[in-house]
Chain A
Amino acid sequence: MFARRRFAVLKNLLEYIGLEPGRLHFSWISSAEAEKFQRTAQEVVEAVRKLGPAKRLIKDIRKVA
């Protein structure tokens, strides 16, 4: 429950600095909700895939000098 406040603030902050909406997802899933977990994972992967490779806040040491 404490996490809820932290996540609310964090999501707003990350989207405020330009993280594309649709990159960051939150869901309440208990360990007994296997079906929901599978479904949510698929939905998130689809949503993120549509946005293309992440470029913001990514560090690739092979590319940097």
Chain B
Amino acid sequence: MDFEAVTQKIREIAKRLLSEGQVDAVLGYREGTVPMRERPFFAYTPEEAEQLVWTPFCCNNLANFLIRKPKGEIGKWGIVAQGCVTRNLVGLIQENQLKREELFIIGVPSPGMVDRRKVLDKFPGKTISQVLVEGEELVIKGPGLDERLDMKTVKRDNCYTCIQRNPVIVDEMACDKAENDSMGGDIDKMAAPWESLDPDQRWQAFYDNFKDCIRCYACRDACPLCYCHVCFVDESQPQWCGKTQDFADVATFHLLRAFHCAGRCTDCGACESACPVGIKMRRLTSKIEKDIRQMYGYRPGLEIEATPPMSVYKPNDPEDFIK
């Protein structure tokens, strides 16, 4: 992908939309102050739209910011969206949180975003002060560090198994669609890695995965599906989930949050990108996604008219587990 060209096109579209008054704001990214992280940005004027960028470090899910409705006065949003983000927009429209008319979607096919932790892992203990994109390579610079990495080797886990790179709904593309919607990874092989383990091993894997959690809720707050007025962890009458660091409390939070995303999660990876301690909570959601797909034949966010799987039932739904 020619990131520079896409950046220029996004800026051009955004400036046009804003100066013509077609939208009240354009939600995109601008350059971050730390390596490998761009930051969500709200451009309200054509001048501000000059700051918009598109790079392989755009690791948030911008649909998340629409559900917060930061300004009630915003009538229409422009939003820079790749495949998974548009799937979330479809989901939010299905759930009556957004209206299609409120959105002007500037579509981009996803290049697969870089997982900054994978890059950091290649240089343990070293300080990285700058990461540049050159073609298909990353140039990593720091004190005593001047290396190149093939971007393909350091993408986010979810990006390898992406099934929808191109936007599902779009108003104007910022570049040509990708030839393939799929990134090529085998989701069935990668999803639910603990299925091959016995219960004791599974519990150990689950514990090891989540034991570092600090209950910051960055995963929940970065997720476009988590828009409940009062999240279940914040309820106190009754308190469903303890607030302590006891593993039972930590596990309850993650299990239930994954469960609440059943049939809705588009595997955008914003949760894992947001986590400050590198927890792989997609181990849970990928299992649920696989079950939903295999039991009910549903993939979230591909069609606005589809009915989400958890709000219907079919007479022949699997029930061999019920005596």
Contact = CB atoms under 8 A, between A and B. Distances in A.
The reply, when asked whether chain A contacts chain B directly with Cβ atoms under 8 A, is yes
Interface of A: 1-2, 4-21, 25-28, 40, 56-59, 64
A59 B242 contact: yes
Contact of A2 (B204, B284, B288, B311): B311
A58 B322 contact: no
Contact of A17 (B202, B309, B310, B323): B202
8 interchain residue pairs of minimum CB distance: A18-B203, A59-B248, A18-B202, A17-B206, A1-B313, A27-B323, A26-B322, A18-B199
B313 A2 contact: yes
B252 A13 contact: no
B317 A4 contact: yes
B203 A4 contact: no
17 contacts: A1-B317, A4-B313, A4-B319, A5-B296, A5-B317, A8-B321, A9-B262, A9-B291, A12-B287, A13-B255, A13-B284, A16-B194, A16-B195, A17-B194, A27-B323, A28-B322, A59-B246
Contact of A10 (B202, B242, B259, B312): B259
B304 interface: no
Interface in B237-278: 242, 244, 246, 248-249, 251-252, 255, 258-259, 262
Nearest to B194: A16
Contacts of B205: 18
A22 to B, nearest CB: 10
B265 to A, nearest CB: 12
B323 A16 contact: no
A59 to B, nearest CB: 4
Contacts of A2: 310-313
B194 A8 contact: no
B203 A56 contact: yes
A31 to B, nearest CB: 17
A31 B159 CA distance: 49
Given A8-B321, A10-B259, A56-B203, 10 more contacts: A2-B312, A5-B296, A12-B288, A13-B259, A16-B194, A16-B195, A17-B255, A18-B203, A20-B199, A59-B249
A13 B310 contact: no
B144 interface: no
Contacts of A20: 199
B200 interface: yes
Contacts of A26: 321-323
Contacts of A9: 259, 262, 288, 291-292, 295, 310
Contacts of B246: 59, 64
Interface in B152-173: none
A15 to B, nearest CB: 7
B259 A19 contact: no
B313 A17 contact: no
Contacts of A15: 199
A39 B291 CA distance: 31
B318 interface: yes
Contacts of A11: 321
Nearest to B323: A27
Contacts of A12: 287-288, 291
A16 B255 CA distance: 11
B66 interface: no
B322 A4 contact: yes
